[in-house]
Amino acid sequence: MGRKALAGFSLFAVFLIFMTDVGCRRSTSGPLDPASRFSPSSEGKSRDLGIYSGDVRVGDMRFSRREGIWDGDVPATELCQNILLRVSFNGQTFSLKSEQRAWAGTDLDLLGSVRWMDFGAGRWEMKVQEAGKGRFEAVHKTSVGKPDREVLDLPVSTLVSDIIPLFLSRQPPAENSRREIAIFDLSLGREVPFSWTDGGQTEFGRLFTLSFWGMEEKIWIDPEGLVVREEMLLGVQAREAGEGEPRGDLALESVLSMASVPAVGVPERLKDLEEATFALEGTTRLPPQGRWQEVSVQGDRTVVRISRPMVEEIEGPKAQRDKILSNDFALDLDSARILALSGQITRGMEDPWEKAVAVCRWVHENLEKSMKESFSALQVLGAGEGECQSHSLLAVSLCRASGVHARFAYGVVFIPEGEVFLFHTWVEVYAGEWIPMDPTFGDFPSGVDHLILAVGGYRDQFKIFPFIMGMGGWRIAYVGP
């Protein structure tokens, strides 16, 4: 299988784009079970839509809304969105199922949220509810491993991403007006700039054009606050379904192709160079600075100079190293199987670089290259296959289990066949300096064809969203060595 087929960023990240949503906040307390705290007081209203790629129906969506009471005395509205999406890759077809439920008070304050996604290989779930003024408690859970809890601190009176249809339906008419605010996205754990334009009444309902991170979507809402129609990313639409329509699937190859970043003037043998300088044009986000990646702003463009890493034994700050040995979400470092395998791979080795190379080589040689998505290191090991995210997840887990400080690197990799950069995940290990390694492609270390856009833990993959969502024409041009 060629590099292009393997380099797509995690399915988890790609398909989250289809379900990007928006909404608001309040102070509550109690156990983290938002659904049990809502009592409906009215019949639910719902609307069924088809999901289309061009003229082919590739899925279904149900949007529903009902009124009720939160905690027995607070008037609340429940919004629910169910999605079934049929996806294919290299002739294999699978389904993505998801549900998002959110509860908001009369003043558009978010009371709680539950969302889950199932890729067939496993399930990811996130439950959120406010635990105090400006503080939300979130629990992440996968189909394997233990739940992971975190607390999100929000600025007071911040709009939270989950209930955009409800928020928009309550906006007073102001045709052709454009407004800007900041919203807080619960999955990303940060504020996001957001704007909307009121397009007025149309044959489908009231039209709003939404913009965030350079991405633009259109949504039509009826007088009852239900979604009637949506124009999403990558040419995907949700609209009223017809009878007897042909059904197909969304080809992941086309999604990855549309999500690529054009490469301008990049040498075909880029990965063989010792140094390379690129100009990032059309993006407002800055990549991280590092020992092998220098970043500067020159006029209206970002310049990135990448050097092929050199392994050096330089002692680093212990506090930083201790942190990235922790058992983060999805790593399964308390698993006897992970500990035993890491010990087997690195038996007799003391040098962290030698261990890291052994681990990444084992992952590269023993995992089949496919687009199967997994949600934890143990699940990757059980599946015996996966895409770049799965390779990196298992590699980081085994490195940390063997005492090597490791973290995830998210960015783009150059694909000569398509003359593009594709979103990709690899790892960085600490051997005196942070050194990038690619267990998917077998690059130890990886070279100047890998441009890092974000680093950190498993959930830090969301930091790459501004680059994916801000695809409004940005490109990477080769400047020289």
Domains of the chain: 19-252 (no CATH), 260-480 (3.10.620.30)
* pLDDT score, position 470: 53
- Find tokens 């089949």 and name the residue: 368
pLDDT digits over 225-247, tens only? 899 999 987 678 999 988 878 88
pLDDT digits over 70-91, tens only? 989 999 999 999 999 998 877 7
* pLDDT score, position 21: 43
Any idea how long the chain is?
481
* pLDDT score, position 481: 85
Most confident of 28-37, 46-55, 184-193, 393-402: 393-402
Burial (CB < 10 A; 0-12, 13-18, 19+), residue 373, is: buried
Angle at 21 between CA 107 and CA 287, to 5 degrees: 120
* pLDDT score, position 319: 54
| Mean pLDDT calculated for residue range 344-349 | 94
* pLDDT score, position 213: 67
Q: How does residue 19 score in pLDDT terms, banded at 50, 70 and 90? A: very low
DSSP 169-227: HTSPP-TT-EEEEEEEETTTTEEEEEEEEEEEEETTEEEEEEEETTEEEEEEE-TTS-E
- Which has the higher per-residue pLDDT, 158 or 173? 173
Least confident of 8-12, 383-387, 406-410, 439-443: 8-12
Q: How does residue 406 score in pLDDT terms, banded at 50, 70 and 90? A: very high
CA-nearest of 148, 146, 139, 87 to 118 is 87
C-alpha 64/C-alpha 436 separation (Å) is 46
Average pLDDT, the chain: 83
* pLDDT score, position 317: 52
CA-nearest of 271, 287, 299, 255 to 478 is 271
Q: How does residue 445 score in pLDDT terms, banded at 50, 70 and 90? A: very high
Angle at 209 between CA 203 and CA 214, to 5 degrees: 155
| Mean pLDDT calculated for residue range 217-231 | 90
* pLDDT score, position 163: 87
- Find tokens 């949504």 and name the residue: 219
C-alpha 13/C-alpha 100 separation (Å) is 16
* pLDDT score, position 363: 96
C-alpha 62/C-alpha 46 separation (Å) is 7
| Mean pLDDT calculated for residue range 273-288 | 87
* pLDDT score, position 472: 54
C-alpha 252/C-alpha 58 separation (Å) is 12
Most confident of 193-197, 368-372, 435-439: 435-439
**Cα atoms in the Cβ-side hemisphere of radius 13 Å centred on 312:** 10
Under a CB-based contact definition with an 8 Å cutoff, are residues 301 and 279 in contact?
yes
| Mean pLDDT calculated for residue range 415-421 | 83
| Mean pLDDT calculated for residue range 355-380 | 90
Helix (H) or strand (E) holding 397: helix 388-401
* pLDDT score, position 59: 93
Structure tokens at 160: 């939270």
Structure tokens at 70: 């939160």
Helix (H) or strand (E) holding 6: helix 3-6
| Mean pLDDT calculated for residue range 61-74 | 93
- Which has the higher per-residue pLDDT, 401 or 141? 401
Q: How does residue 22 score in pLDDT terms, banded at 50, 70 and 90? A: very low
Does residue 11 have a pLDDT over 50?
Answer: no
Does residue 419 have a pLDDT over 90?
Answer: no
Q: Give the predicted TM-score (pTM) of the model.
A: 0.80
For residue 300, the SS3 value is: coil
Tell me the residue type at 69. Answer: I
Least confident of 100-104, 309-313, 388-392, 457-461: 309-313
Does residue 462 have a pLDDT over 50?
Answer: yes
Most confident of 2-6, 159-163, 187-191: 159-163
Q: How does residue 6 score in pLDDT terms, banded at 50, 70 and 90? A: low
Structure tokens at 176: 């052709």
| Mean pLDDT calculated for residue range 448-467 | 85
Least confident of 59-68, 159-168, 260-269, 307-316: 307-316
Under a CB-based contact definition with an 8 Å cutoff, are residues 463 and 454 in contact?
yes
* pLDDT score, position 55: 85
* pLDDT score, position 346: 94
pLDDT digits over 295-344, tens only? 998 887 889 999 998 876 455 555 555 666 676 778 888 889 999 999 99
* pLDDT score, position 77: 94
- Which has the higher per-residue pLDDT, 171 or 360? 360
* pLDDT score, position 17: 42
For residue 407, the SS3 value is: strand
